[in-house]
């Protein structure tokens, strides 16, 4: 069977095809597995595919469909970032440390997809322990951007972004600590959402920086992100930071994201905050041009641009690179070669076993962040670095509180440049960190944020429009994006087939 129809297929289209019995879940899974087999050697988007397990789930889904139990994701393949533990699946987090780790249980997010009858299509490549912005620090080698295979995919959820961009999966999961869903979404021309902190359970999602980590979806459209969120979100008692809120339908505002919407002006009354700090030096001209054009499209839909200021935002990267490594140094102390994961083959005593295990099991970027975190938490430096960063974090969150008095959402670029060449950032970690400037503030404040495709920059590489909303405003943000996608077709653009 030809599988062209999979290119850019939406979740709704696939679900309709399954409901109409035009295709079975088993056929659908086989078609995607064939696509993965054909191009994964080039793109390196997946660490693990397991046709036997995927097809077993697909057969179960077909049985459900035959019984008339068809939910929006029943029988549909979903790729999962390898940070989510899944029972019976290798869950490596892109690290040699967990290369032999086969999940003994399911993450809450995996539970939810299983309950919905979705099929696990495979585990996607990522920066080691989600630390990175280019998906090059994986022990399994770098992910490549399907728009230009000598360019990076962004990170850390680069594999999931590329899976969706190259139509190797209709949708995927990711995690976002400082931009790890939104930045790769921007750099690959896909849609990605980081929900409000606490909306998606972190149970079974390998911890990097617990006060910032949040799972989120990748898809081809805002409407599909809403479908994904309806499955992923929800209270989970096993995550102490999971928020106990009534379930919501994330699709509810797609048609009318603002109360004052009219038929001709679906965004009439929407106030889009434009922060002057976001359009200064460091922003590439090709990216800015695409963002300005997107803002024009939004104003044509009735939205009004409002000048705002986020004065502390330039300090968000320094604060982030204190807080995230500090939490990481604590979280990653669990990898000691005792209960699971890698253990060095030779050692003299217990301390030597720890030191060699961690020296060999972790890659350079992970070690760098553990060492930074250990330093900023060490005696004599705690106040100067960690406590200071927490105070800056408060100021950043207060900036947003102030800004949302004057606007409903805030729009900016998702990244200051299009995807760089492979290897261009690896020698200079600081340069890589500074490129997180647009995405990090939302994590520090715990706000929902998304990136949607809005054009192309240099070398025909995608540009993403970053949208930050107020707490729990995901449905409205998705509605704004959906209206934008009703009058533009950037989200439907697909890279040429990779050989």
Partner 1 sequence: MMPLDLEVVRRIAMLARIEISDAEAIATRDQLNGILNMIESMRALNTEGIEPMAHAQDVVLRLRDDRVSETDQHEVFQSIAPQVEGSLYLVPKVIE
Instruction: Give catalytic residue positions.
Output: 81, 156, 180
Q: Give 183 or 443: the residue with its C-beta nearer to partner 1.
A: 443
Cis peptide before 156 (omega within 30 of 0): yes
Under the criterion CB under 8 A, does residue 401 sit at the interface with partner 1? no
- Residues 440 and 451: their CA atoms lie apart, in Å, by 13
Near partner 1 by CB under 8 A: residue from 42, 333, 402, 458:
333
430 touches partner 1 by CB under 8 A:
yes
| Residues within window 240-269 making contact with partner 1, judged by CB under 8 A | 240-241, 243-244
Stretch that binds partner 1, among 112-120, 280-288, 366-374, 415-423 (CB under 8 A): 366-374
Measured from the CB atom, is 269 or 429 closer to partner 1? 429
User: What is the C-alpha to C-alpha distance for residues 371 and 105, in angstroms, rounded to an integer?
Assistant: 30
- State the number of binding residues for partner 1 (CB under 8 A): 73
- Kindly state whether residue 55 participates in binding partner 1, applying the rule CB under 8 A: no
* Other beta carbons within 10 Å of 2: 6
Candidates 46, 139, 362, 438: give the one binding partner 1 (CB under 8 A): 362
Within positions 291 to 330, which residues make up the interface with partner 1, using CB under 8 A?
A: 312, 315, 317-319, 321-322, 329
Which of these ranges, 17-25, 39-47, 98-106, 399-407, lies near partner 1 under the rule CB under 8 A?
98-106
Nearer to partner 1, 191 or 389 (CB): 389
Q: Of these, 151, 358, 482, 491, which contacts partner 1 (CB under 8 A)?
A: 358
Site membership for partner 1, residue 460 (CB under 8 A): no
Determine if 389 is a binding residue for partner 1 (CB under 8 A).
yes
Q: Which is nearer to partner 1, 66 or 350 (CB)?
A: 350
| Residues numbered 114-173 forming contacts with partner 1, rule: CB under 8 A | none
Residue 218 within binding range of partner 1, rule CB under 8 A: no
Nearer to partner 1, 8 or 318 (CB): 318
Q: Considering the complex, what minimum distance in angstroms separates the CB of residue 333 from partner 1? A: 8
Binding status of residue 385 toward partner 1 by CB under 8 A: yes
**Nearer CB in complex with partner 1: 7/114:** 114
List 351, 489, 496, 499, residue binding partner 1 (CB under 8 A): 351
Footprint of partner 1 on 195-214 (CB under 8 A)? 197-198, 211-212
């Amino acid at each position: 069977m030809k599988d062209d129809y999979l290119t850019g297929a939406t979740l709704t289209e696939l679900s309709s095809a399954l409901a109409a019995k035009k295709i079975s879940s088993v056929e659908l899974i086989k078609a995607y597995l064939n696509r993965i087999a054909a191009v994964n050697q080039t793109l390196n988007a997946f660490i693990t595919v397991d046709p036997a397990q995927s097809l077993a789930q697909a057969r179960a889904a077909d049985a459900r469909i035959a019984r008339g139990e068809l939910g929006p994701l029943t029988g549909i393949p979903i790729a999962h970032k390898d940070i989510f533990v899944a029972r019976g699946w290798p869950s490596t987090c892109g690290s040699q440390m967990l290369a032999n780790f086969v999940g003994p249980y399911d993450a809450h997010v995996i539970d939810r997809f299983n309950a919905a009858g979705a099929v696990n299509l495979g585990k996607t490549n990522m920066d080691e322990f989600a630390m990175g912005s280019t998906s090059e620090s994986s022990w399994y080698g770098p992910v490549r951007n399907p728009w230009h295979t000598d360019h990076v995919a962004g990170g850390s959820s680069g594999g999931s972004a590329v899976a969706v961009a190259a139509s190797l999966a209709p949708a995927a999961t990711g995690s976002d600590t400082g931009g790890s869903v939104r930045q790769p979404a921007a750099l690959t021309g896909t849609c990605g959402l980081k929900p409000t902190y606490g909306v998606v359970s972190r149970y079974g999602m390998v911890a990097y920086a617990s006060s910032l980590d949040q799972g989120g979806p990748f898809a081809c459209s805002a409407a599909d992100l809403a479908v994904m969120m309806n499955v992923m979100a929800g209270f989970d008692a096993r995550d102490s930071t999971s928020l106990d809120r009534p379930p919501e339908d994330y699709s509810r505002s797609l048609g009318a994201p603002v109360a004052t919407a009219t038929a001709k002006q679906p965004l009439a009354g929407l106030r889009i905050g434009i922060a002057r700090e976001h359009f200064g030096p460091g922003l590439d001209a090709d990216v800015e041009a695409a963002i300005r054009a997107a803002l024009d499209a939004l104003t044509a839909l009735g939205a009004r641009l409002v000048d705002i200021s986020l004065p502390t935002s330039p300090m968000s990267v320094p604060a982030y690179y204190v807080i995230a490594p500090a939490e990481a140094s604590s979280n990653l102390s669990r990898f000691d070669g005792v209960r699971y994961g890698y253990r060095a083959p030779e050692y003299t005593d217990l301390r030597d076993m720890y030191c060699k295990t961690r020296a060999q099991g972790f890659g350079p970027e992970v070690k760098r962040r553990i060492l930074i975190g250990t330093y900023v938490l060490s005696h004599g430096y705690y106040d100067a670095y960690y406590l200071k960063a927490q105070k800056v974090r408060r100021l950043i969150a207060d900036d947003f509180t102030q800004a949302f008095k004057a606007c409903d959402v805030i729009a900016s670029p998702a990244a200051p440049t299009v995807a760089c060449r492979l290897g261009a950032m690896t020698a200079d970690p600081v340069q890589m960190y500074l490129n997180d400037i647009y995405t990090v503030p939302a994590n520090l404040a715990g706000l929902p944020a998304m990136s949607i495709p809005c054009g192309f920059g240099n070398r025909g590489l995608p540009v993403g429009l970053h949208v930050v909303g107020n707490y729990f405003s995901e449905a409205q943000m998705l509605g704004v994006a959906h209206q934008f996608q009703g009058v533009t077709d950037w989200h439907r653009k697909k890279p040429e087939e990779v050989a």
